Structure 1
């Protein structure tokens, strides 16, 4: 699949082992998108992969803010990248609710 080849070239892990590693991968992917090295479709596919396979790392699954981005992710990637990720994951988050 072409998307995987592109993300492999960019050294973006599809299966990070920790929340902090996931945050670094999100930063790399968002920056690649903003510098036109990844298409919106490629970024969205990667984010949907993270959301479906690594939801425990990406989202807060309990408490008041259940379903929102993990606080560690928010602190590490910053406000603008969070906005981009939330925009691209709107459909996925609606399916969760």
Structure 2
């Protein structure tokens, strides 16, 4: 249920504790379920989802600031940092490199 909701809306920024409260389960229950199903923690899975969605949006020509907003990042710089940690480059550099390959 949590994964399905986040797949529909990656910008949903409810914490693990908020999800647990909304579903009337413990945060540990959700954590175990994510780890068992994906091999990732809740935070790791959400970060991966957002970066995957970012790659698609950037590939469609969306601006970095628009992607950050659509994915629920409060600051564009926070999105850029998250993207760089996962992808090893900034979104702008990624888009530029993608264009150079065409």
TM over 0.5: no
Query: TM-score of the superposition, structure 1-length normalised?
Result: 0.43
Query: TM-score of the superposition, structure 2-length normalised?
Result: 0.42
Greater share of helix:
2
